[in-house]
Structure 1
Amino acid sequence: MSAAPSPVLAVRGLAKSYGGVRALDGVNFEIAAGELLALIGPNGAGKSTCFNIVNGQLRPDAGTVHILGRDVTGLPPRRIAGLGVGRTFQVAAVFPSMSALENVQMALIAVRRGVFGFWHPARRIAREEALALLEQTGMGAQAQRPAAALAYGDVKRLELAMALAGEPKLLLMDEPTAGMAAGERREMIALVRRLTRARGLAVLFTEHSMDVVFGHADRAIVLARGRLIADGPVDAVRRDPLVREVYLGGTRPGREARP
């Protein structure tokens, strides 16, 4: 009988304090390839702290972060990105004056610095790959439009295409549907789910919209006051009495929790 594959991301015993406040208190979880994992909880639960430790923006007081079996605890974000980690932000980080195509080309060039020597050869070499990424994220028809002229939902898709430029194994998404209307939210997270399956990605995302979490995530982990209070399939987490008490507050499936 073959051994189970190692998780793409394994978090063990993470702890972080700010003064006398424990933002994280012994948090453990992992994500497998092809899995979409939601990180949820009330404001002040420790979600951002956890997310930023995984990404390398913060160093934990205790605990470890392993990506693809390698201990990356405390490494800076650039080093972690180079190990196969992509990230999108709550406020999309794109170059407004550049076209969608140029934005993705720049992402490809940044990932492969040292492969491309000059801008013109780089632009030619990266063009087809950039177009392919835009097609995969539903942005092919918008390739030549400046990012500043794109609708908000399209900017988020563009940022996703840029995050995929590094062919990540782990994708960190900070509220990927924030600010979107209900229909846009569903389309965006359905796109992420398709890409997760097709590329064998492990995706960790934070989210306040419960329709997104319970409609599309494979699993959810719930933080409250720095502690992990639930980890499991979304249906089980939604029914968990403690989760309902401290976070959902009786929220029905399909409605948003806005703590």
Structure 2
Amino acid sequence: MATLEVEGLAKNFGGVQAVRGVSFAVRPGEMLALIGPNGAGKSTCFNMLNGQLRPDAGRVRLLGRDITGLAPRKVWRLGVGRTFQITATFGSMTVLENVQMALLSHHRRLGGLWTPVRRLDRADAEALLARLGMAAQAERPCGILAYGDLKRVELAIALANDPKLLLMDEPTAGMAPQERVALMALTAGIARERGIAVLFTEHDMDVVFTHADRMLVLDRGTLIAEGAPAEVRANPRVREVYLGGSH
């Protein structure tokens, strides 16, 4: 069974059709890239999947369950994690505390008790930070971290929810080239290890073609291509509207 199934998704803003009948699926452990020029409808599509926008038409299913139009907190509780183009962490709290908060919230979702301190949450947070190469930063406040490190913290927070689906909005934006490669390699490894379906948007085509198992291409709200990276790279329409001659 696909983790995420999207069928006929559509959204209008006044007379503008931002997303037009988009359908696709993401399988467990798969890295699926959603790309396209600015204004193609990528963010609108993401926001409908996450519950921030209600579709005008279409259906969104998570592991066979219809989640169309559910509020973001309800979507999160069902096992959907998300990272954002601009990182969102508690700047005055340490890296470890940020991840512990996410773990505590996750355990409440599973019916556990909220307690001031849980050794399990601390151990789990430390293990997750070590997996992401952030163990040495655990006691530092997020407000003083370099941007690349903040991206890793945000990923740790999303993974603390033990997601079945991970939505990543431009996960390497603002990062140095080497940091981009390292972050996406980590994400791909964890996704395959845990069977997490990953849908990500990204403007860095080197990142996309290196790490995506499949790609979707949007143009003016319409899905114009879908397939393996080599197929998308060779697609004449995709080259015309987005890739040009550089890829």
In structure 1, the partner of 2:245 is 250
1:152-205: CA deviations, max 9, x gaps? Answer: 111100110110111001000010000011111111111111111111110000
In structure 1, the partner of 2:236 is 241
Question: Are positions 1:118 and 2:115 aligned together?
Answer: yes
Question: Are positions 1:137 and 2:139 aligned together?
Answer: no
Question: Are positions 1:176 and 2:171 aligned together?
Answer: yes
State the one-letter code of the partner of 1:216: H
Secondary structure (helix, strand or coil) at the match of 1:166 reads: coil
2:17 to 19, 22, 33: 22
Matching of residues 1-259 of structure 1 within 5 Å: 6-113=1-108, 115-119=112-116, 121-122=117-118, 124-252=119-247
State the one-letter code of the partner of 2:39: G
Cα pair 2:104 2:114 within 8 Å, conserved: no
Secondary structure (helix, strand or coil) at the match of 1:177 reads: coil
What is the alpha-carbon root mean square deviation over aligned residues?
A: 1.0
Distance in 2 (CA, whole Å) between partners of 1:32 and 1:191 is 18
State the one-letter code of the partner of 1:177: T
**Paired-residue identity, %:** 63
Distance in 2 (CA, whole Å) between partners of 1:21 and 1:227 is 12
Deviation at 1:125, TM superposition (A): 3.5
> TM-score, normalized by length of structure 1?
0.92
Deviation at 1:112, TM superposition (A): 2.2
Question: Gapped runs of 5+ residues in structure 2?
Answer: none
1:200-247: CA deviations, max 9, x gaps? Answer: 110000100000001111111000011000110011101110000011
Question: Gapped runs of 5+ residues in structure 1?
Answer: 1-5, 253-259
Distance in 2 (CA, whole Å) between partners of 1:74 and 1:17 is 15
Cα pair 2:83 2:167 within 8 Å, conserved: yes
1:100-130: CA deviations, max 9, x gaps? Answer: 11110011112223523331x33x3311011
Distance in 2 (CA, whole Å) between partners of 1:163 and 1:247 is 30
Distance in 2 (CA, whole Å) between partners of 1:10 and 1:85 is 13
> TM-score, normalized by length of structure 2?
0.97
Secondary structure (helix, strand or coil) at the match of 2:216 reads: strand
1:73-99: CA deviations, max 9, x gaps? Answer: 000011111111001111111111111
Deviation at 1:146, TM superposition (A): 1.3
Aligned length: 245
